[in-house]
Amino acid sequence: MTFQSRIKIAIIGAGPVGSLCACFMAEYGYDVTVYESRTDIRHTETTIGRSINMALSERGINALQFINLDNIVIDELAEPMYGRMIHSIDGRKYNILYDILENKCLYSVNRNDLNAVLLTKLEKYQNVKLNFSHKLVDIDFKTTQLTFETLENPQKIVKPDIVIGCDGAYSTVRKNMIRLPMFNYSQMYIDHGYLEINLPSNLNKDILSAHYLHIWPRGTFMLIALPNKDKSWTCTLFMPMDKFPLLLESETENILSFFYKHFKDFTNLIHPKYLIDQVKNGKARTLISIKCNPYHVNDNFLLIGDAAHAIVPFYGQGMNAGFEDCTLLNLLLNEYEHDLNTVIKMFTSRRIHDTEAISDLAFYNYTEMRDLVARKSFLWRKKIDNI
């Protein structure tokens, strides 16, 4: 029996970050138990408008490499995107490549597919127990006692040695930390929200050319489209939350005229009824940015992923930053020779400047994507940058 196998680690949340973090810990032989409030997403039908495609970048890929999933994800789940394709209001298009020197790209990947691959990998470790329908409801930080609500038991109690909170932007682990002295926390809902629209495969390739992240920037709002492996597209309309009811509750012809006026080439791609169904059955969702400091309590509770630093999605780095948290954990485990208590205490100071920087950059990109990319001065600057 190794010393790692005697240490019980509880991972709260089996989203992308929790699943990846559990794999990392399992690789080292720790006794890992994962608690997820929902049922297994691999056996649950995806709700329309809740699929969310994500841009997977080098940060995320490097983390997946540690558990040999990088090539599987890239080959089997992902579509490369080599740049942005901007659609002007007058129908013209132009591209802005991400990397003109080495032709590097981002990968478009469906969040649920990626999560499912991670869960399947996780199940293969002998030293991992995966519990679905286990909702964390309470924490005693002194005794590390966790209380879960399950289908059979409204108060299931467990007592691990270490707790890693990966339970997302609305984290229960973090909610419990907020009550403790010297724990700083801030949250901000931005004015904009989003609505997801899914497009079928095999659409006009002249308009939706493959291997690009398509953007229709319109100043205070924008539409984006990300390619899927099956050649369908996941599109997201970002606009001020208070404008969504005007659109979603208006008459069919008003919805169509909004899309024709602002996104004509996009609207011409699909049957009007298909578009109307998607919009009318869709739901506008909010976007939140969360910061806290520190990420740990005592030397045995740690927050990572969105639970620690939820950011607005405009830089495409939320999950990637969560994956990079796992890479840093890995680095610290080696640096401090698996002294987990020290690793947990060191994590905040080694991570917080980077996560705050990416959060601020994501805010900047919020304006750039919907507005600045469409301005002449921006294009001129990009031209100069690219020389």
Residue ranges binding ligand FAD (CB under 6 A): 12-18, 35-38, 52, 54-55, 111, 135-136, 166-169, 172, 194, 236, 305-307, 313, 316-320, 322
Which CB sits closer to ligand FAD, 13 or 217? 13
Least gap, CB of 40 to ligand FAD (angstroms): 10
Which CB sits closer to ligand FAD, 20 or 340? 20
Which CB sits closer to ligand FAD, 189 or 380? 189
Q: Give dist(CA 307, CA 64) in Å, integer.
A: 20
Give yes or no for a contact between 302 and 296, defined as CB atoms under 8 angstroms apart.
yes
DSSP string over 197-262: EEE-SS--TTTS-TTSEEEEE-SS-EEEEEE-TTS-EEEEEEEEGGGHHHHHTS-HHHHHHHHHHH
Least gap, CB of 252 to ligand FAD (angstroms): 26
Which CB sits closer to ligand FAD, 38 or 383? 38
Sheet holding 184-199, edge to edge: 93-97, 83-87, 213-217, 222-227, 233-240, 184-199, 285-293
Least gap, CB of 358 to ligand FAD (angstroms): 10
Q: Give dist(CA 9, CA 129) in Å, integer.
A: 10
Q: Give dist(CA 66, CA 21) in Å, integer.
A: 11
Which CB sits closer to ligand FAD, 7 or 319? 319
Q: Give dist(CA 384, CA 205) in Å, integer.
A: 29
DSSP string over 287-355: EEEEEEE-SEETTTEEE-THHHH---GGGS-HHHHHHHHHHHHHHHHHHTTT-HHHHHHHHHHHHHHHH
Which CB sits closer to ligand FAD, 31 or 196? 196
Which CB sits closer to ligand FAD, 9 or 17? 17
Which CB sits closer to ligand FAD, 127 or 150? 150
Which long-range CB contacts under 8 A does 225-229 form with residues at least 24 apart?
225/199, 225/266, 226/53, 226/55, 226/79, 226/81, 226/108, 227/79, 227/81, 227/108, 228/53, 228/79, 228/108, 228/110, 228/201, 229/76, 229/77, 229/78, 229/79, 229/110
Least gap, CB of 369 to ligand FAD (angstroms): 12
Least gap, CB of 60 to ligand FAD (angstroms): 6
Helix axes 272-281, 252-262, angle to 10 degrees: 110
Which CB sits closer to ligand FAD, 135 or 156? 135
Least gap, CB of 216 to ligand FAD (angstroms): 16
Round the CA-based radius of gyration of the chain to a whole number and report it: 22
Least gap, CB of 20 to ligand FAD (angstroms): 8
Q: Which residues contact 182 (CB under 8 A, 6 or more apart)?
A: none
Give yes or no for a contact between 17 and 325, defined as CB atoms under 8 angstroms apart.
yes
Least gap, CB of 359 to ligand FAD (angstroms): 11
Least gap, CB of 166 to ligand FAD (angstroms): 5
Least gap, CB of 206 to ligand FAD (angstroms): 25
- Give the nearest residue (CB) to ligand FAD: 15
Which CB sits closer to ligand FAD, 29 or 60? 60
Helix axes 318-335, 58-65, angle to 10 degrees: 40
